[in-house]
Amino acid sequence: MTTSHDTRQYEINSYWGPRRETAEAIADRYIRMVEALMRIDPVFTPWIFIGARPTVVPFDQARTELPQLLAKGLGEHWGPAEGYRFGGTNSMGFNRRSIGLMGEAGNSMPPVGYNNSITLMTVPHNYLPTDASIVTYDLFRSAMLAIIEAWDVTWCAAYPADIMKFWPPAGSGHPFKPAWMTYVSPRFAPLIRPPRSIESQTVAGGGVLMVATRERFDVTNPEHMAAARAIDTAMAPLNALPWPPDR
């Protein structure tokens, strides 16, 4: 099956550095994120919590016992300093409107790569094309803000999976990559000078959100790619900081 670029897999990825948190605090953040996502669009309903072993529980049931569900993997596969791993989905089988989530939070150890993160993604394009109606500027911007505000992230970006082939290689000293939309937290926003050629917004208490286009991002569109590269250039001061920047 061949699919057009505008219906291939899209993702939102976020990062923050070492931060010890309890299962109760992480449960509260997870609940706030999911409730915000549900208010954005029906595609985020029904929601299913996925935990260790694996644990698969409808969100309405999971929310009353979420700290206990989050703690199930501790001691068996990793320790408290390594945080909690969890996920979620809007469906247990793949379909064109499938949304999946993977997360790690509460990790306070020295990082290898990303430390704590939330990744939200549409159906992998090797299974099915994504329903293009859910890949919009409004939906993805709102979902980014739901993640940013719930988890107090350092960086967050939305992008099509296709753009990864244009990213610098891992280990190149360029951890934050070109994207459709890129957010930088209030702590680091003063380092960033958004290009005049792209749209920038002040959000989430003083963070900066840079937007390559309000259209659905397409790597075959030269204007979209030029805007993403301009944003990437503006990110150079953050990329130049020792890793992790928010230790």
pLDDT in tens, 88-134: 999 998 999 999 999 999 998 876 666 899 999 999 877 899 999 99
What's the pTM? 0.93
Residues 168, 247: Cα–Cα separation, whole Å: 23
User: Could you tell me the pLDDT band of residue 6, with boundaries at 50, 70 and 90?
Assistant: very low
C-alpha span between 218 and 172 (Å, rounded): 25
Kindly report which listed range (46-50, 79-83, 104-108, 175-179) carries the lowest average pLDDT score.
79-83
**Per-position DSSP letters for 135-162, written without gaps between them:** --HHHHHHHHHHHHHHHT-SEEEEEEGG
Domain ranges of the chain: 1-153, 168-241
Order of strands, sheet of 199-203, starting from the edge strand that comes earlier in the sequence:
55-58, 48-51, 82-89, 99-107, 116-122, 10-16, 155-160, 181-184, 207-211, 199-203
Q: What is the mean pLDDT of residues 45-61?
A: 92
